[in-house]
């Protein structure tokens, strides 16, 4: 996974300790420490949090190059706006959800569509893995 994000996409990844604090109007202050921070070529920051407990409910998305090539005509119809709302939150458009449903109907399970900063890619959902603390990649 590290190689794909750093070598292919040009992301910078770090597991150096960060504490993120945010204030919400009705909630007050919230703070947390992500497992990894990723910064894509466009400067967008991605918080990566690995689920490592025995009873994890999370998954890791690993790009599937072959499926992305196989469905490239459908994926070319998608733009950045199909994955992010105007205020920057991740949210798939109806068009993106329809394409994902169509691919799943072809028999592919445990997949998702993501925007990698330049294009839409199909990713496999897999079990989480452990990262090493205090490391930087890319």
Give pLDDT tens digits for 27-80. Answer: 678 778 888 888 888 888 888 876 665 544 556 677 888 999 999 999 999 999
48 close to 36: Cβ distance less than 8 angstroms: yes
3-class SS shares of the chain: helix, strand, coil, % to 5: 25, 30, 45
> What rounded mean pLDDT belongs to the chain?
81
0.85 exceeded by the pTM?
A: no
- Asked if pLDDT for residue 97 goes beyond 70, the answer is yes
Handedness of CA 65, 66, 67, 72 (dihedral sign): positive
Backbone angles phi, psi at 21, to 5 degrees: -120, 140
Tell me the C-alpha distance between 42 and 10, whole Å: 10
What does the pLDDT read at residue 129?
A: 47
Q: Which domain holds residue 107?
A: 2-137
The segment with the largest mean pLDDT, out of 46-50, 86-90, 97-101, 132-136, is: 97-101
- Total count of domains within the chain: 1
């Amino acid at each position: 996974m590290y190689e794909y994000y750093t070598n292919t996409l040009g992301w910078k990844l770090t597991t150096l300790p960060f504490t993120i604090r945010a204030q919400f109007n009705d909630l007050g202050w919230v703070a947390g420490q992500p497992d990894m921070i990723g910064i894509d070529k466009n400067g967008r920051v991605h918080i990566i949090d690995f689920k490592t407990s025995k009873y994890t409910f999370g998954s890791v998305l690993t790009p599937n190059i072959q499926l992305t090539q196989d469905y490239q005509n459908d994926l070319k119809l998608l733009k950045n706006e199909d994955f992010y709302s105007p205020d920057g939150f991740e949210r798939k458009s109806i068009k993106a959800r329809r394409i994902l449903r169509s691919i799943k109907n072809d028999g592919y399970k445990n997949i998702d569509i993501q925007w990698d900063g330049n294009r839409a890619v199909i990713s496999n959902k897999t079990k989480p893995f452990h990262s090493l603390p205090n490391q930087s990649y890319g």
